[in-house]
Amino acid sequence: MSQHPNAPSRDAVIDALMRLAESRPWSDIELQDIAQEAGISLADLRDMFPSKGAILGGLSRRIDRQVLEGTTNDLAGEPARERLFDVMMRRLDALAPYKRALKRISQGMRGDPLSLAAMNQMALNSQRYMLAAAGISTEDALGFLKLQGAVIIHANTLETWFDDDDPALARTMARLDREIRRGERVMERADDVRRLTAPFRALGQALFDRRRRDRRRRPDDYQDGETRDPAAAI
């Protein structure tokens, strides 16, 4: 009889993949290996996850929940930089049990553009919630830039974290601080450019709207002496 998928069995699959990834190259891990390690059938695995990447997505959602459940308003009055630093460090703390496996997975995915693109999309989904936990809006004009910037900050910090064996994570925290400050400078420049170009974007939109209205008008809508050509009025 087929096992009905439930939360514990999904967790068992995620944990199985992480155990395998600690000692085996990412490309050598097959779906059958994961099912066997998790103690379920291949059919049950298919019901729960369509791919290895989807299992990693399950781990990411697990970590998201741990961070979000631990989010408080203690830093509400602090600068955005401090709030983001706190959330990012708590995420690394939640990832700590999977550090060795994640390092090997990261190494195994280098040179695989399709996997990297999929992982970037997964990271964008996670960072949307991490920024929300830090009280940083992603619904404004620079929202996507903030999201992709957070992904880059996290990825660059992981490079240091993977090899940081100090329990205090001094090197990791220093790297994270540098990455966040660099991201702040990028956002400041982007915001300056957005403000400087606002009048031109408004003018362009106005011209576009007028041309769209003009193209919708029928020939008999024009009064005597009126023309379709905007340049004729110059």
Structure tokens at 78: 């602090």
CA contacts within 13 A on the Cβ side of 156: 16
137 φψ region: left (φ > 0), alpha (ψ -120 to 50), beta (else)? beta
E strands within the chain?
none
pLDDT tens digits for 93-111? 999 999 999 999 999 998 8
Angstrom distance (rounded) from CA 142 to CA 140: 5
Asked if residues 155 and 176 have their Cβ atoms less than 8 Å apart, the reply is no
Q: How high is the pLDDT of residue 231?
A: 38
pTM of the model: 0.76
CA 44/CA 158 separation, integer angstroms: 33
**Low-confidence residues of the chain: pLDDT under 70:** 1-8, 191-234
- The tens digit of pLDDT for each residue in 20-48 reads 999 999 999 999 999 999 999 999 999 99
Contact 5, 49 (CB under 8 A): no
Instruction: Give me the pLDDT at residue 69, please.
Output: 95
Q: 3-state DSSP: the chain helix, strand, coil percent, rounded to 5? A: 75, 0, 25
Q: Can you give the residue ranges of every domain in the chain? A: 77-213
